[in-house]
């Protein structure tokens, strides 16, 4: 089955630790995204990548880092610099570039819930 | 700047009654509009999308939405709610030339027996 796999589903972290959330897709999509979801806030864009070895900051990139070494993979690292990292993190992909004539439909993973103790 | 407003944070209906979830977007030519649904602790799933074809869009699970340019609205409706419709719904807009989507803050739909 084609789709997006996020792991781990639940993660606990002590303050001061970096953690990496995995996101893998087998849809052969060019673009991938990381969103953060907090209650009542909707989804906020952290980082996105439209092609391998290239990525752009979203609205709330501070305290996060990403890499895109392979088309299928877009891991997100939550660093100790992120002041309030407890949240639900969603990875998504799209066939092509949003706003560039594509429909803009996103395909989402099941999410990773990070809790800082 | 592009924006989308979901007018209700919570909507409560009884099973079998109609559902109306309201969404307004900031005015621009050529928007693409989407409704997504999210069940607890899950990812988002596309319900339907408008991309400048027919203004009345039919989606999955009996939902539909109408694009009204004069009102800058894209409200989501369903004639008869089912218990399984209880979830959070997000209205999303995309504009030509912008490389990201803009999400509304979500509307939680509660369905009582």
Q: What is the pLDDT of residues B2-52, one digit of tens each?
A: 789 999 999 999 999 999 999 999 866 678 899 999 999 899 999 999 987
- Contact indicator for B14, B82 with CB cutoff of 8 Å: no
Which residue(s) pair with B81 in the sheet?
A: none
How would DSSP label each residue in A51-91?
Answer: ETTEEEE-TT-TTEEE--SBTTB--EEE-TT-S---EEEEE
- Pair type for strands B10-14 and B107-112: parallel
- Verify whether the Cβ–Cβ distance A99 to B46 is below 8 Å: no
pLDDT higher at B44 or B100: B44
Question: Would you state the pLDDT for residue B101?
Answer: 85
Angle at B78 between CA B76 and CA B83, to 5 degrees: 115
Please report which residue ranges of B34-104 form alpha helices under DSSP H: none
Chain A residues in contact with B46 (beta carbon < 8 A): 105-106
- Verify whether the Cβ–Cβ distance A101 to B9 is below 8 Å: no
Interface test with A, best of B92, B100, B104 (most A CBs within 10 A): B100
pLDDT higher at B90 or A96: B90
Place of tokens 């809790």: A115
Q: Measured between alpha carbons, how far is A69 from A52 in angstroms, rounded to an integer?
A: 6
Is A106 an 8 Å CB contact of chain B? yes
Q: What is the pLDDT of residues B62-79, one digit of tens each?
A: 999 999 988 999 999 999
Q: What is the CATH number of the domain that holds B60?
A: 2.60.40.10
Q: Looking at residues B99-112, what average pLDDT do you find? A: 91
Instruction: Give chain B's radius of gyration (CA, Å).
Output: 13
Q: Measured between alpha carbons, how far is B46 from B60 in angstroms, rounded to an integer?
A: 8
Question: Would you state the pLDDT for residue A88?
Answer: 96
- List the domain range (segments joined by +) for residue B67: 2-112
Chain B: closest CA distance from residue A47 (Å): 10
Percentage of the residues of chain A whose pLDDT score is greater than 90: 72
Is A41 an 8 Å CB contact of chain B? yes
pLDDT higher at A89 or A82: A89
Q: Measured between alpha carbons, how far is A100 from A61 in angstroms, rounded to an integer?
A: 23
Q: Measured between alpha carbons, how far is A27 from A91 in angstroms, rounded to an integer?
A: 13
Nearest to B99 among A41, A98, A105 (CB): A98
- Verify whether the Cβ–Cβ distance A98 to B9 is below 8 Å: no
Q: What is the pLDDT of residues A29-63, one digit of tens each?
A: 999 999 999 988 889 999 999 899 999 999 999 99
> How many independent structural domains does chain B possess?
1
């Amino acid at each position: 089955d084609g789709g997006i796999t996020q792991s781990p589903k639940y993660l606990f972290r002590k303050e001061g630790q970096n953690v990496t959330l995995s996101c893998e897709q087998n849809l052969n999509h060019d673009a991938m995204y990381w969103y953060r979801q907090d209650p009542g806030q909707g989804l906020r864009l952290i980082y996105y990548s439209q092609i391998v070895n290239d990525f752009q900051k979203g609205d709330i990139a501070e305290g996060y880092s990403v890499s895109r070494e392979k088309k299928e993979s877009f891991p997100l690292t939550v660093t100790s610099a992120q002041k309030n990292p407890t949240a639900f993190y969603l990875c998504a992909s799209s066939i092509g570039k949003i706003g560039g004539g594509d429909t803009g439909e996103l395909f989402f993973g099941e999410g990773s819930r990070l809790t800082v103790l | 700047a592009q924006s989308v407003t979901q007018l209700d944070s919570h909507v409560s209906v009884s099973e079998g009654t109609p559902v109306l979830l309201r969404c307004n977007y900031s005015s621009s030519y050529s928007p693409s509009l989407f409704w997504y649904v999210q069940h607890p602790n899950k990812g988002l799933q596309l319900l339907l999308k408008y991309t400048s074809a027919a203004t009345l869009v039919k989606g999955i699970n009996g939902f539909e939405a109408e694009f009204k340019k004069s009102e800058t609205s894209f409200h989501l409706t369903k004639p008869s709610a089912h218990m399984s419709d209880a979830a959070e719904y997000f209205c999303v807009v995309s504009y030509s030339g912008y490389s990201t989507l803009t999400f509304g803050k979500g509307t939680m739909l509660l369905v009582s027996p």
